[in-house]
Amino acid sequence: MNRIKILLIVSIISIFMFSSNANAYVSLTFSSSTVPSTIEPGTKANILITISNTGNEIATNAKISIQATSNVIPDSPSYSLGTLNAGGSTQITVPITVSPNAQEGTVAIPVTVSYSISGSGSTTDSQNSVSIVITKRTLLQITEVSYDKPVIQRGDVFKMTLNIQNVGKGQIKDLVASIRNFASAISPATTDTEKFLGVFGSGDNKSVSFDLTVNNNADTIAYSVPVILDFYDEQGIAHSDVKYVGLRISGIPDFVVYVESSEITADSKGKVVVSVANAGTGTSKFLTAYAKSDIALLPATVYIGNLDPDDTNSLSFETSYPSSGNHKLNLTLVYKDSYNQEFSNSYDLNFNFGPRAFKIPAVFQFIIALLIIFFAYKNKNTILKMINGK
């Protein structure tokens, strides 16, 4: 009887142990994402691989191997995962290099995870794959803008030349560059506002020119000119990109400088007045005049400030005990335009000091006035007869 009980107990334990071993398992699942999300040929990226153990047994000494393909090469072929607990997960970052010749589409990268079941000396392999999507983005850039005039003013007709480059990886077809939606200050000089540029391979660049006019109501500011780029990508999908090109409208000051007057005053000082008029189309900002002469004129520097078109400013210079005759004056005008660029203009002027003015002292003027009054009083009868004509 006891022997039968022992056999039953051993049988039950054996069955339980067999059932437990039969139900213990490791099940691995894989998911992945890429950084950046868009991967192009000839670039580097990272694959974030998440490995989850959905089984009820621990996977120990886990290691993942990533197989290189013709388009994708991992920086390292294998990574240690350590222990994957039942219901647990781990994530690794796999840097990769994408071949410059890789084609667009989804690429499957084989991966293998080797592990041991806890308490077992054997090794098991779990094979799977992760996928990345390779895309050839279309990307056009205006890399250079030039104008056929160094300074563009109201009323000017000018040529704007753009250099357009395909900096993306995909081929562009039927590219048309056009200028539409003109700003109120800019108008087309001709009816040709569209240019067909055709096919653009990756890295290709072409130049295109447009003839434009600046309207007379334009402000002296920087305008944005919209350039529309219409094209098809390699998949035949239509695109329309808008690029903005800066255009600076300038006004140029045109100074009229002349000597208004020059004289030697009664107090033996020389005075020279110089007129500075702006006959141009732009305001001269922070205008400063620097004077040099063959005689010492003061002040040597005069700050004028802003001088708008059609405005005039008079500059006064003085010197003590000058000699009469002809003298020379060099006047340099330094100013900035609306875009803070500095300019300078120099003018050579001539002026003349006449004879020194004679000044009668006040006391002598008083005496002379008294003598005139006395003479008039003594000869009043004679003066009256002369007035009355008798």
Render pLDDT for 148-162 as a digit per residue (tens, 0 to 9): 998 899 899 999 999
> What digits encode the pLDDT tens for the residues 63-78?
999 999 998 999 999 9
Q: How confident is the model at residue 269 (pLDDT cuts 50, 70, 90)?
A: confident
Residue 357 confidence (pLDDT)? 53
Mean pLDDT value of segment 365-380: 73
Weakest mean pLDDT among 167-171, 181-185, 192-196, 236-240: 181-185
More confident residue, 276 or 123: 276
- Residue 390: pLDDT above 60? no
- Can you give the pLDDT at residue 20? 44
Average pLDDT in the 191-198 region?
91
Asked whether the predicted pLDDT for residue 18 surpasses 50, the reply is no
Residue 304 pLDDT > 50, yes or no? Answer: yes
Domains of the chain by range and CATH? 26-134 (2.60.40.10), 140-248 (2.60.40.10), 255-353 (2.60.40.10)
Sequential DSSP letters for 188-222 = ESSS--EEEEEEE-TT-EEEEEEEEEE-TT--SSE
Token pair of 381 as six digits: 């009868």
- pLDDT above 70 covers a percentage of the chain that reads 87
Average pLDDT over residues 80-92: 92
pLDDT score of 17 more than 60: no
Q: If pLDDT is split at 50, 70 and 90, which confidence band does 12 have?
A: very low
Q: Which residues contact 253 (CB under 8 A, 6 or more apart)?
A: 278, 280, 281, 282, 283, 284, 307, 309, 335, 337
Return left, alpha or beta for 78; rule: phi > 0 is left, psi -120 to 50 is alpha, else beta.
beta
- List pLDDT tens digits, range 327-371: 999 999 999 988 888 999 999 999 998 765 555 566 766 777 777
Report the amino acid identity of residue 73. Answer: I
**Cα–Cα distance between 91 and 73 in angstroms, integer?**
19
Please answer whether residues 250 and 220 qualify as being in contact, where contact means their C-beta atoms are separated by less than 8 angstroms. Answer: yes
Q: Residue 383: is its pLDDT beyond 80?
A: no
Cα-based distances in Å from 98 to 34, 112, 257 = 12, 21, 69
pLDDT at 385: 66
- Which of 346, 288, 294, 285 has the alpha carbon at shortest distance from 319? 294
Region 40-52 average pLDDT: 93
- As a whole number, the mean pLDDT across the chain is 86
